[in-house]
């Protein structure tokens, strides 16, 4: 049976939002998150206030799943005190003392009041308050009668000694609570981080744009059973869902596709208030994208990024570098880094990778030849490939790529004016994707049959970035969905900042 | 338990091997093993009702024991002269065998005709015996397990760990001729699982299958976590611990250490990496072994839990693959993370009055952490 | 249902015969520079059949074809449905590709139907060659209600363009009865893979998956300026080949095998052939395979006979690639390994022979400054879309060794077959010559 794409009104709404988003240009090229209060000294630590609450998230098949989330309850809050999936992305700087104050407001309909907690793999954490748990100190629910005030509040303190990508999650019955939604990302900027010249780990790890890919999954059966019977009821263990885990929803940054390609924050609409983050990577040719890939829940995912290899530069917040040979020179890669076309995301592990694309070596001009007879009805604009300088240094000698500020920065000039090699079939014989602009050339559009295309209004090159466990490209039996997003590489004339 | 503490506490700083959690003493180069019928009682289970049928390797006593003794993983084998002989007594009604991935047995494997049933030479059912010989052993951490009908016999429990050191206190030869792979203390973590429905299936030839295999118990060194758990001795602050990971489950597990320093993962399947990998967790595929150096700097019980969250145990919502790596000071005989008069008394109990040890462990200097 | 299907093919043939051609506008059409007769094989010289008519330039039989380019490789793939035989003998409906290179254009629509294979035909390319791949969609004969288009995604192609990426959501896919030609200049050697990306969860589960690799230019040039290092594959005196342009011969090999892990969910395939809703959420692989077969078929020289519903191109089997590894003691054995199964990871173990991993995801395992990152292991874990290049050193070895899923519950063919099966193959080492 075939499920037609975009057939229900929920999806149409989201697609409209995507279109508006792409036309308007996105926010900054940095990751959405919160930076807490405080300067980061031991006397004035960077402080976050998180509270665990329950609500429901939305999946793109029209489903709704009860979840437990960390809410940013700082003053002022970043998401109206709502619990969110994933939890707020915490962004701090290397060397800062960080303090997270956790409050527990879980009140289940069954009367259960489970403890919650946070663990921070990769950090050395001191926990005070609350009650003792197996992995760390835990916060009891505030309304447990007779509980002294301080057993409902836990303070976790650590020094962010090393830059990198990390995560945090519940340390109380993780197989249940992380599944329920208690997970989030932690980003530590290198000391002296300058947002105008950002690096991941200092010199040698410069990038132009960064995107978070927090991958996770859910089995709604667990959520329904917990909601109906409570987390300690025998019914939950009888499902075998925790020992023989079988996921049915897959998320990027807390949303299933295509919801993850809508706007971030409240402008995504009322169905996504508890899922504030999106995943809509965009870049220009020649830019460096930093991919922060995190395995959020308990399954591995092979993250395949169409378009080019990515260079893995760090794992678990540690640069893949021998540390010998002195400090890295600008642009020099960590010397133990390696390239992949599919990033293996392991639960609990974090991977940092750099992705770049120019179309080098395709042997035809990706911007098109303006008098190519095959495209006479939708000719691409003429352009020059002007290469006088090295794009990294700004001075001679030329590096083979179009210079900044010219028609086509980072165009591979050796392929300039080479004709498109094949004859495309007539349109009646073709099916078109929503992200096809109607032209094979970057930055050009072409006529399409009515109703086709439309999601790529600037004629960029679009690539699906997705889990290569293709079963995970569904939302509980509905294809497409799940763990996928589209990277759009836009011509330099398109403002994406 | 006292014996374990004794062996732990007797370690001087330099190069002596720590015993592993499984309480079996080092044995000679020829190992006498038997494959026997056993059973395993899950925690909280009722005796004579809830036992799960298991098969296991045990030290051969000369004859086949009565079925029903409690199952454990096979004894940890530790050959030291580069060769290994196992005399195997088969007490089971099915053929069995022993293979060690990463070590090649002597004797030319027969060219096959037809469909294989064993990945190595079989030993016929009871009362047959078999001999398995390996020479030119490779250094590292390995698993021995049945190579016969492995889709049934491995989940039944026919496995154990085998450790081959390059030299005492040295895991691998180091091409740079430095001491990079030397270690002071050692911890072995053997991961495995039990599917009661498969093991209790009376058809002894039936195997684990993709749609029906469903383990309910998740074990480290043959036990699920059961509070209060015995911690795994994992060295002293300021000394180097080698953590040997081995996974003989049919699923992947991902041990993650909380609150401790990162591991330097140096090898897998008995082969050192070109460069150590600095990670707080490792990804153990089915059949995988990994070796990691860990340099704790503080006393404490450090949780190491499976980050793919196999943390339940049958009908119990707690259990599974969680262990506590205990870092304590030498001389801490009672494991309470404090070296004091109680330990001195225990010291006297163990060695007897008037016995003076070769090293005075109480005076070793580990900085401000240990006196 | 059976009766309906039995009449469908003759009905379609009748339509074609009556109307002489395919539905209006559709055309099976090959694009291949230097190909004079539309069979996707470049023609170096003119033959009697390929001399144009009229012939204003006076071309003679045997004249060289000016459009012939030795650096051009062409291939014509058909896509659609078919049947294979599982390791327990069970027939299974599937979708796939088959290699119709050499078949005249006008015959492809008919010859291609129900010919499709698992795995899809392996594609072997050379660095520096341009690959012209024509994909023709011959329809789903046994699911006439389906009008699915198809694509080819050359998985991992570096610096890929949008138009030739084969991703339907971002570009083009080809409808029934027509052809789409892809163009790739192969700049980067390594082990890749290919698959259809249309409705990926469904089409990939159904079997549109195959191996693809690119030999390095070092095979042709040798290294260090030494002509004795030119590869045997290119007629030279050196080793059979190199995996990458290593510059030092460290990825040399003597024998080469491409193994692709896969698996079918029989419930999904049955639902497909019976026109039932497809159980995406319940998808699980119960027939694990290497190169499209479950042991012991993995080591059989010839594939199992195709079910009677299939129309294999060779008249016998739709599973043409085995997974048997054979070498002489001392051979360096290259395994080009990939996984395209759509539901889970597998770990492939070689307990008896160490695996030296020299490449990963079509890149030599070397840091950017030249640090050697190759390593040795006894098992590799594959998610979908991952590849590894492994060299086995068989010096001093003999007999039969095994390469199999250490996920031991995948050593079966389905739920009822007795005996070891599934994701297992043998490495047979003969005495050194």
**Is residue C76 domain-shared with residue C152, that is, in the same domain?**
yes
CA–CA separation, A102 and A129 (whole Å): 10
Q: Contact partners of C by the rule of 3+ C-beta pairs under 8 A? A: A, B
Cα pseudo-dihedral B269, B274, B277, B283, rounded to 10: -30
Lowest mean pLDDT among A306-310, B238-242, B288-292: B238-242
Q: Which helix (H) or strand (E) holds C190?
A: strand C190-195
Q: Do C172 and A431 touch (CB under 8 A)?
A: yes
pLDDT of C181 > 70? The answer is yes
Domain boundary among C215, C238, C260: C215
**Cα C350 → chain centroid:** 23
CA–CA separation, B336 and B223 (whole Å): 22
For residue range C285-319, list pLDDT tens digits in order. Answer: 999 999 999 999 999 999 999 999 999 999 999 99
Instruction: Give the list of residues 6+ apart from residue C98 with CB closer than 8 angstroms, or none.
Output: C77, C78, C82, C112, C115, C116, C117, C120, C121, C313, C318
The pLDDT, as a whole number, for residue A17 is 47
pLDDT of A327 > 60? The answer is no
pLDDT of A12 > 90? The answer is no
Average pLDDT over residues B145-164: 97
Kindly state whether residue C152 falls inside one of the protein's structural domains.
Answer: yes
Instruction: Give the list of residues 6+ apart from residue B262 with CB closer than 8 angstroms, or none.
Output: A122, A316, A318, B278, B279, B280
Phi-psi region of C323 (alpha: psi -120 to 50; beta: other; left: phi over 0): alpha
pLDDT of A100 > 90? The answer is yes
Is residue B35 a contact partner of residue B146, using CB atoms and an 8 Å limit? yes
The pLDDT, as a whole number, for residue B337 is 72
Q: Do B150 and C354 touch (CB under 8 A)?
A: no
User: What is the 3-state secondary structure of B289-339?
Assistant: EEEEEECCCCCEEEEEEECCCCCCECCECCCCCEEEEEECCCCCCCCCCCC
The answer, yes or no, to whether the previous bond of C54 is cis (omega within 30 of 0) is: yes
Q: Do B280 and A237 touch (CB under 8 A)?
A: no
Kindly state whether residue C234 falls inside one of the protein's structural domains.
Answer: no
CA–CA separation, A460 and A23 (whole Å): 12
**Is residue C30 domain-shared with residue C84, that is, in the same domain?**
yes
Number of residues that make up chain C: 433
Would you state the structure tokens that stand for residue C40, as one six-digit string?
């996707």
Which chain C residue has the Cα nearest residue A336?
C367
pLDDT mean across residues, chain C? 94
The pLDDT, as a whole number, for residue B346 is 66
pLDDT-based confidence at residue B230 (cuts at 50, 70, 90): confident
Which of B101, B118, B210, B276 would you mutate first to test chain C, the one with the most C CBs within 10 A? B210
The pLDDT, as a whole number, for residue A166 is 98
Partners of B293 in the β-ladder: B242, B264
Chain A CB contacts of B279 under 8 Å are 315-316, 318, 349
pLDDT mean across residues, chain B? 84
Three-state SS for B155? helix
Kindly state whether residue C162 falls inside one of the protein's structural domains.
Answer: yes
pLDDT of A86 > 90? The answer is yes
**Is residue C202 domain-shared with residue C308, that is, in the same domain?**
no
pLDDT-based confidence at residue A28 (cuts at 50, 70, 90): very low
For residue range B44-57, list pLDDT tens digits in order. Answer: 889 999 999 999 99
pLDDT of B21 > 60? The answer is no
**Cα A376 → chain centroid:** 40
The pLDDT, as a whole number, for residue B16 is 28
pLDDT-based confidence at residue B318 (cuts at 50, 70, 90): confident
Q: Which of residues 320-379 of C touch B (CB under 8 A)?
A: 345, 347, 349, 351-352, 354, 371-379
Which of B102, B111, B274, B285 would you mutate first to test chain C, the one with the most C CBs within 10 A? B285
pLDDT of A417 > 70? The answer is yes
Nearest alpha-carbon partner for B277 in A301, A291, A337, A212: A337
Handedness of CA C415, C417, C419, C423 (dihedral sign): negative
CA–CA separation, A184 and A197 (whole Å): 26
**Is residue C291 domain-shared with residue C357, that is, in the same domain?**
yes
Kindly state whether residue C118 falls inside one of the protein's structural domains.
Answer: yes
Q: Which helix (H) or strand (E) holds B133?
A: strand B129-134
Q: Do A362 and C180 touch (CB under 8 A)?
A: no
Q: What is the CATH number of the domain that holds C50?
A: 2.60.40.420
- Tokens 């959520």: give the residue: A223
| Domain membership of residue C374 as a residue range | 251-430
Would you state the structure tokens that stand for residue A208, as one six-digit string?
């132009």
For residue range A126-169, list pLDDT tens digits in order. Answer: 999 999 999 999 999 876 777 777 778 999 999 999 999 999 99
Nearest alpha-carbon partner for B190 in B324, B321, B84, B43: B321
Nearest alpha-carbon partner for C216 in C325, C99, C359, C356: C359
Q: What DSSP state is assigned to residue C175?
A: -
Is residue B285 a contact partner of residue B246, using CB atoms and an 8 Å limit? no
Three-state SS for A226? helix
The pLDDT, as a whole number, for residue B238 is 87
Would you state the structure tokens that stand for residue A159, as one six-digit string?
């020094």
What proportions of chain C, in percent to the nearest 5, are helix, strand and coil?
A: 15, 35, 55
CB atoms within 10 A of CB C228: 9
Cα pseudo-dihedral B328, B330, B334, B340, rounded to 10: -100
Average pLDDT over residues A194-207: 93
Nearest alpha-carbon partner for B288 in B300, B264, B271: B271
Is residue A286 a contact partner of residue A248, using CB atoms and an 8 Å limit? no
Q: Do B258 and A243 touch (CB under 8 A)?
A: no
CA–CA separation, B324 and A429 (whole Å): 63
pLDDT of C13 > 80? The answer is no
**Is residue C263 domain-shared with residue C160, that is, in the same domain?**
no
The pLDDT, as a whole number, for residue B350 is 58
Residues in B lying within 8 Å of C, measured between beta carbons: 99-102, 104, 108-112, 114-117, 119, 149-151, 154-155, 205, 207-213, 250-252, 268-271, 273-275, 283, 285-288
User: Looking at the complex, does the CB of residue A121 fall below 8 Å from at least one CB of chain C?
Assistant: no
pLDDT of B356 > 90? The answer is no
Q: List Cα–Cα distances, A170 to A292, B313, B324, in angstroms.
A: 21, 19, 18
pLDDT of B8 > 50? The answer is no
Spatial strand order in the sheet of B271-279 = B217-220, B185-194, B241-247, B289-294, B263-268, B271-279
Kindly state whether residue C237 falls inside one of the protein's structural domains.
Answer: no
**Is residue C300 domain-shared with residue C368, that is, in the same domain?**
yes
Chain C CB contacts of B154 under 8 Å are 408
The pLDDT, as a whole number, for residue B19 is 30
Q: Contact partners of A by the rule of 3+ C-beta pairs under 8 A? A: B, C
For residue range A354-373, list pLDDT tens digits in order. Answer: 999 999 999 999 999 999 99
Kindly state whether residue C232 falls inside one of the protein's structural domains.
Answer: no
**Is residue C267 domain-shared with residue C391, that is, in the same domain?**
yes
**Is residue C192 domain-shared with residue C297, that is, in the same domain?**
no
Three-state SS for C93? strand
**Is residue C404 domain-shared with residue C300, that is, in the same domain?**
yes
Average pLDDT over residues B178-206: 91
**Is residue C25 domain-shared with residue C123, that is, in the same domain?**
yes
Chain B CB contacts of C295 under 8 Å are 115
pTM over 0.90: yes
pLDDT-based confidence at residue A30 (cuts at 50, 70, 90): confident
**Is residue C190 domain-shared with residue C265, that is, in the same domain?**
no
Q: List Cα–Cα distances, C213 to A193, A338, C216, in angstroms.
A: 42, 20, 10
Chain A CB contacts of B303 under 8 Å are 134-135
Average pLDDT over residues B20-34: 60
Nearest alpha-carbon partner for A179 in A242, A116, A87, A89: A242
- Helices C105-112 and C2-19: crossing angle, nearest 10°? 170
CA–CA separation, C190 and B212 (whole Å): 38
Domain boundary among C215, C242, C276: C215
Identify the residue with better confidence: C57 or A415: A415
Q: List Cα–Cα distances, B228 to A213, B224, B225, B235, in angstroms.
A: 38, 12, 8, 20
pLDDT of A7 > 50? The answer is no
- Tokens 């005796």: give the residue: B47
Is residue A309 a contact partner of residue A319, using CB atoms and an 8 Å limit? no
**Cα A25 → chain centroid:** 18
Q: Which helix (H) or strand (E) holds B197?
A: helix B196-199
Average pLDDT over residues B234-245: 93
For residue range C133-177, list pLDDT tens digits in order. Answer: 999 999 999 999 999 999 999 999 999 999 999 999 999 999 999
In degrees rounded to 5, what are phi and psi of residue C110?
Answer: -80, -50
Kindly state whether residue C139 falls inside one of the protein's structural domains.
Answer: yes
Interface predicted TM-score of the whole assembly (ipTM), two decimals:
0.93
Three-state SS for A448? coil
* Domain count along chain C: 2
Kindly state whether residue C96 falls inside one of the protein's structural domains.
Answer: yes
CA–CA separation, B175 and B161 (whole Å): 26
Partners of A101 in the β-ladder: A49, A155
**Is residue C359 domain-shared with residue C306, that is, in the same domain?**
yes
Is residue A217 a contact partner of residue A250, using CB atoms and an 8 Å limit? yes
């Amino acid at each position: 049976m075939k499920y037609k794409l975009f057939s229900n009104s929920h999806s149409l709404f989201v697609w409209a939002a995507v279109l508006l988003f792409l036309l308007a240009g996105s926010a900054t090229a940095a990751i959405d998150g919160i930076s807490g209060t405080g300067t980061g000294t031991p006397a004035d630590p960077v402080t976050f206030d998180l509270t665990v609450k329950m609500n429901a998230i939305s999946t793109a098949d029209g489903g709704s799943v009860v979840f437990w989330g960390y809410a940013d309850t700082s003053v002022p809050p970043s998401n109206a005190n709502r619990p969110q999936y994933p939890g707020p992305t915490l962004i701090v700087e290397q060397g800062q003392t960080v303090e997270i104050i956790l409050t527990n407001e879980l009140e289940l309909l069954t009367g259960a009041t489970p403890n919650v907690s946070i663990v921070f793999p990769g950090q050395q954490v001191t926990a005070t308050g609350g009650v003792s748990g197996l992995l760390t100190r835990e916060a009891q629910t505030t309304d447990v009668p007779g509980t002294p005030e301080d057993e409902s509040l836990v303070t976790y303190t650590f020094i962010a000694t090393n830059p990198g990508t990390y995560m945090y999650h519940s340390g109380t019955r993780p197989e249940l609570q992380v599944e329920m939604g208690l997970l989030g990302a932690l980003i530590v900027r290198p000391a002296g981080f300058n947002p105008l010249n950002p690096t991941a780990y200092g010199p040698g790890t410069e990038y132009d744009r960064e995107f978070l890919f927090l991958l996770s999954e859910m089995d709604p059966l667990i959520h329904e059973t917990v909601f109906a019977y409570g987390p300690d009821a025998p019914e939950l263990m009888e499902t075998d869902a925790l020992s023989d885990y079988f996921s049915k929803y897959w998320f990027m940054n807390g949303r299933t596709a295509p919801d993850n390609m809508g706007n971030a924050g409240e402008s995504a609409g009322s169905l996504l208030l508890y899922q504030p983050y999106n995943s809509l990577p965009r870049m220009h040719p020649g830019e460096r994208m930093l991919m922060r890939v995190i395995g959020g829940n308990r399954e591995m995912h092979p993250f395949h990024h169409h378009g080019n290899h990515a260079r893995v530069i760090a794992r678990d917040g540690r640069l893949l570098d021998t540390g010998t040979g002195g400090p890295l020179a600008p642009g020099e890669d960590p010397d133990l880094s390696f390239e992949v076309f599919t990033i293996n995301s392991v639960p609990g592990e974090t991977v940092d990778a750099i992705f770049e694309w120019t179309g080098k070596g395709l042997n035809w001009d990706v911007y098109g030849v303006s008098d190519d007879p095959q495209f006479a009805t939708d000719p691409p604009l003429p352009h020059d490939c002007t290469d006088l300088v090295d794009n990294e240094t700004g001075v001679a000698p030329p590096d083979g790529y179009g210079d900044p500020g010219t028609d086509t920065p980072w165009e591979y000039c050796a392929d300039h004016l080479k004709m498109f090699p094949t004859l495309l079939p007539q349109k009646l014989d073709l099916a078109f994707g929503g992200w096809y602009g109607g032209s094979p050339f970057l930055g050009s559009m072409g006529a399409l049959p009515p109703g086709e295309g439309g999601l790529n209004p600037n004629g960029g090159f679009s690539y699906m970035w997705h889990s290569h466990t293709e079963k995970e490209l569904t939302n509980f039996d509905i294809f497409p969905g799940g763990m996928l997003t589209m990277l759009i590489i836009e011509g330099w004339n398109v403002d994406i900042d | 338990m006292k014996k374990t503490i004794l062996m732990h506490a007797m370690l001087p700083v330099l190069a002596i091997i720590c015993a592993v959690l499984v309480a079996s003493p080092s044995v000679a180069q020829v190992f006498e093993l038997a494959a026997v019928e056993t059973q395993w009682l899950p925690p909280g289970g009722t005796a004579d009702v809830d036992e799960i049928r298991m098969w296991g390797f045990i030290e051969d006593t000369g004859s086949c024991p009565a079925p029903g003794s409690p199952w454990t993983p096979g004894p940890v084998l530790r050959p030291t002269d580069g060769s290994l002989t196992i005399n195997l007594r088969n007490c089971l009604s099915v053929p069995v065998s022993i293979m060690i991935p990463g070590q090649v047995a002597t004797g030319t494997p027969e060219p096959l005709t037809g469909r294989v049933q064993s990945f190595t030479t079989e030993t016929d059912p009871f009362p047959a015996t078999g001999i398995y010989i390996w020479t030119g052993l490779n250094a590292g951490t390995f698993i021995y397990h049945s190579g016969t009908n492995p889709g049934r016999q491995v989940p039944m429990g026919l496995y154990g760990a085998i450790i081959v050191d390059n030299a005492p206190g040295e895991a691998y030869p180091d091409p740079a001729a430095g001491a990079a792979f030397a270690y002071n203390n050692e911890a072995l973590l053997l991961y495995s699982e039990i599917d009661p429905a498969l093991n209790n299936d009376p058809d002894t030839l039936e195997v684990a299958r993709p749609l029906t295999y469903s383990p309910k118990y998740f074990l480290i060194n043959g036990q699920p976590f059961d509070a209060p758990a015995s911690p795994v001795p994992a060295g002293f602050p300021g000394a180097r611990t080698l953590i040997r990971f081995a996974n003989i489950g049919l699923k992947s597990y991902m041990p993650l250490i909380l609150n401790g320093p990162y591991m330097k993962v140096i090898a897998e399947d008995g082969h050192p990496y070109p460069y150590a990998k600095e990670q707080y967790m490792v990804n153990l595929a089915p059949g995988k072994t990994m070796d990691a150096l860990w340099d704790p700097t503080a006393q404490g019980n450090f949780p190491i839990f499976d980050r793919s969250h196999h943390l339940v145990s049958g009908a119990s919502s707690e259990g599974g693959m969680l262990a506590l790596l205990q870092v304590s000071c030498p001389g801490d005989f009672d494991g309470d993370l404090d070296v004091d008069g109680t330990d001195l008394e225990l010291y006297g109990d163990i060695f007897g009055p008037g016995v003076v040890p070769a090293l005075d462990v109480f005076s070793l200097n580990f900085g401000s952490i240990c006196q | 249902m059976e009766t309906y299907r039995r009449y469908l093919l003759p009905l379609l043939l009748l339509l074609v015969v009556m109307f002489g051609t395919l539905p209006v506008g559709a055309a099976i059409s090959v694009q291949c520079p230097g190909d004079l007769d539309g069979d996707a094989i470049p023609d170096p010289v003119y033959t009697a059949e390929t001399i144009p008519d009229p012939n204003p330039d006076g071309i003679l039989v045997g004249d060289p074809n000016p459009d012939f380019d030795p650096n051009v490789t062409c291939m014509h793939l058909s896509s659609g449905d078919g049947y294979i035989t599982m390791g327990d003998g069970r027939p299974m409906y599937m979708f796939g590709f088959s290699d119709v290179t050499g078949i005249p254009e006008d015959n492809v629509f008919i010859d291609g139907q129900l010919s499709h294979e698992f795995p899809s035909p392996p594609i072997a390319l050379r660095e520096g060659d341009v690959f012209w791949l024509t994909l023709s969609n011959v329809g789903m004969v046994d699911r006439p209600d389906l009008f699915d288009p198809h694509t080819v995604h050359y998985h991992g192609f570096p610096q890929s363009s949008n138009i030739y990426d084969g991703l339907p959501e971002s570009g083009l896919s080809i409808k029934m009865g027509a052809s789409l030609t892809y163009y790739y200049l192969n700049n980067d050697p390594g082990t890749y893979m290919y698959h259809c990306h249309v409705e990926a969860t469904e089409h990939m589960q159904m079997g549109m998956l195959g191996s693809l690799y690119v030999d390095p230019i070092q095979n042709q040039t040798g290294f260090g300026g030494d002509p004795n290092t030119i590869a045997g594959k290119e007629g030279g005196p050196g080793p059979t080949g190199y995996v990458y342009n290593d510059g030092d011969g460290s990825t040399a090999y003597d024998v080469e095998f491409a193994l692709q892990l896969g698996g079918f969910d029989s419930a999904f395939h049955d639902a497909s052939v019976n026109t039932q809703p497809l159980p995406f959420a319940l998808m699980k692989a119960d027939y694990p395979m290497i190169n499209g077969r479950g042991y012991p078929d993995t080591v059989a020289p010839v594939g199992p006979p195709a079910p009677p519903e299939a129309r294999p191109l060779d008249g016998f089997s739709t599973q043409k690639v085995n997974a048997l590894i054979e070498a002489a003691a001392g051979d360096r054995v290259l395994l080009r390994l990939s996984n395209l199964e759509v539901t889970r990871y597998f770990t492939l173990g070689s307990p008896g022979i160490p695996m030296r991993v020299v490449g990963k995801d079509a890149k030599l395992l070397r840091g950017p400054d030249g640090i050697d990152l190759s390593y040795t292991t006894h098992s590799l874990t594959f998610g979908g879309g991952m590849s590894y290049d492994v060299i086995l050193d068989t010096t001093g070895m003999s007999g039969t060794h095994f390469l199999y899923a250490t996920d031991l519950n995948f050593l079966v063919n389905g739920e009822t077959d007795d005996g070891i099966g599934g994701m297992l193959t043998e490495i047979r080492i003969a005495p050194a010559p």
